[in-house]
Amino acid sequence: MFNLFHADINAGVAEYEATGGALLLDVRTEQEYRGGHINGSVNLPLDKIFSIADTVKDKSTPLYVHCLSGGRSKRAVAQLKQMGYTNVKDIGGINSYRGKVVK
């Protein structure tokens, strides 16, 4: 069921997987990412979010953003939108992810 207050990372990952050309962006620290991440995700810590242009030139690229619990991903989405990225979605925190993680 749709929850107005919390993004559902499981639904978000499924949507990412069904969206051609999309990027799954993990904004946790490098250390957190190494501890376990979703296969196919790209690590770009929140404090380095402004370097996204080095990786994603097309600002209409679908970006699915997550972190540990949802706080940093929410801030990252706001910053990405301010930078002109038009297809950005906060999918919440990996701590609610029910799929397999890569270490």
**pLDDT digits 0-9 by tens, 10-22:** 999 999 999 999 9
How many angstroms separate the CA atoms of 53 and 20, rounded? Answer: 19
Q: What is the pLDDT of residue 23?
A: 98
Residue 4 has pLDDT above 90, yes or no: no
Residue 87 has pLDDT above 50, yes or no: yes
How many angstroms separate the CA atoms of 43 and 68, rounded? Answer: 12
What is the per-residue pLDDT across 40-83, written as a single tens digit (0 to 9) for each? 999 999 999 999 999 999 999 999 999 999 999 999 999 999 99
Contacts by 49-53 with C-beta closer than 8 Å and gap 24+?
A: 49/76, 49/79, 49/80, 50/79, 50/83, 52/25, 52/80, 52/83, 52/85, 53/83
Domains of the chain: 9-102 (3.40.250.10)
